[in-house]
Amino acid sequence: MIVVVLGFHKSGTTLLAKTLASAGFDMGANCEGKYPKCKYEDPRVKQIARDILFGGRRRKSLDLPTTYCDQRSSIQEYIAIREQVAAGGDWGFKVPDITLCYQMWRPLLPQHLVIGIRRSLEGLLGHYGRCKTPPDPAVIRRAWMYYNYMLKADLVSTVGFEDIIENGIEPIEDIIGMRLPDVRRKRGPS
């Protein structure tokens, strides 16, 4: 089974990828250490996304693309390598920026599942508000709307971050069609 995880930055994509990795999916990231060092992002997918969306340039995570570069050959090469390495096993990837260019990936991937995760704008603003130098809330809002529009445009099955944190991973299991380990951080008594 192949699973692609989509969603906005800081919306819970790492939680989904960690859940899948704990269930035996090869998420393409040599993950040593804990979050935030380990974000379960395949560096090859990250580079392909950067090439598609920003002509290979580094940029801030809230920047939105102005043009798209055709990288179908890079995507096909990546898929061929992953299929060979997986040898029929479960694999997938998550890089939030793929949400903005999934249309280029979709026809090239073998049969696969896509799962998106959404976090409330209030939750995101709260998260970014705790940053040392918080971004402009209007920039966050604009990018959040664009990412969520792309999830809807691609008819992606989505789960809510806050719902997963509060109530459990069953919505993820329903989409994947299998039991998964619960890797959410348990909060002790306050």
In this structure, are residues 64 and 146 in contact, taking their beta carbons and an 8 Å threshold? Answer: yes
Return d(Cα 187, Cα 80) in angstroms, integer. Answer: 41
Q: What is the pLDDT of residue 185?
A: 72
Question: Quick one: pLDDT band at residue 176, thresholds 50, 70, 90?
Answer: very high
> What pLDDT, on a 0 to 100 scale, did the predictor assign at position 31?
67
What is the CATH code for 2-176?
Answer: 3.40.50.300
The per-residue pLDDT for 87 is 86
- Crossing angle (nearest 10°) for helices 121-129 and 137-153: 140
pLDDT digits 0-9 by tens, 146-156: 999 999 987 88
- Domain regions of the chain by residue span: 2-176
Q: What is the pLDDT of residue 35?
A: 57
Write out pLDDT tens, residues 54-82: 988 887 778 888 889 999 999 999 999 99
Euclidean distance between CA atoms 190 and 179, whole angstroms: 30
What pLDDT, in 10s, does the model give residues 94-106?
999 999 999 999 9
What mean pLDDT do residues 25-47 have? 78
Q: Say whether pLDDT at 34 is over 90.
A: no
User: Rounded mean pLDDT of 119-126?
Assistant: 94
| Identity of the residue numbered 96 | P
The DSSP string of the chain is -EEEEEE-TTSSHHHHHHHHHHTT-B-S----S-TTT-----HHHHHHHHHHHHTT----TT---S-----HHHHHHHHHHHHHHHTTS-EEEE-GGGGGTHHHHTTTS-S-EEEEEE--HHHHHHHHHTSSSPPPHHHHHHHHHHHHHHHHHTT-EEEEHHHHHHH-SHHHHHHHTS-----PPPP---
The percentage of the chain sitting over the pLDDT mark of 70, rounded to a whole number, equals 93
Q: Is residue 36's pLDDT more than 80?
A: no
Lookup result for tokens 């290979």: 56
Query: What pLDDT, on the 0 to 100 scale, is given for residue 88?
Result: 83
Task: State the pTM of this model.
Answer: 0.90
Report d(CA 153, CA 57) in Å as an integer. Answer: 26
